[in-house]
Amino acid sequence: MAEKTDYEALAANLLKTELKRHGVPYAQLVEKMAAIGVDEKEVNVRNKLSRGKFTAAFLLQCLTAIGATEVRL
């Protein structure tokens, strides 16, 4: 299995941090994403975040779903 690149790790950590900051567990994230029309399963979200392999669109969908208006890099 390929190692995460620095940017993949940064993206995954950024999203995990925002989820914690907003107090949103993965199950609730899936519900919030469904509310904005994004169909994801909790297991898929967990896998994407653990691998750090997801699109910028997925990142933006997650941030929108949890109501994040700014992120800190």
Sign of CA dihedral 2, 4, 50, 28: negative
What pLDDT, on the 0 to 100 scale, is given for residue 39? 97
Q: For 2-55, what is each residue's pLDDT tens digit?
A: 567 899 999 999 999 999 999 999 999 999 999 999 999 999 999 999 999 999
What pLDDT, on the 0 to 100 scale, is given for residue 5? 86
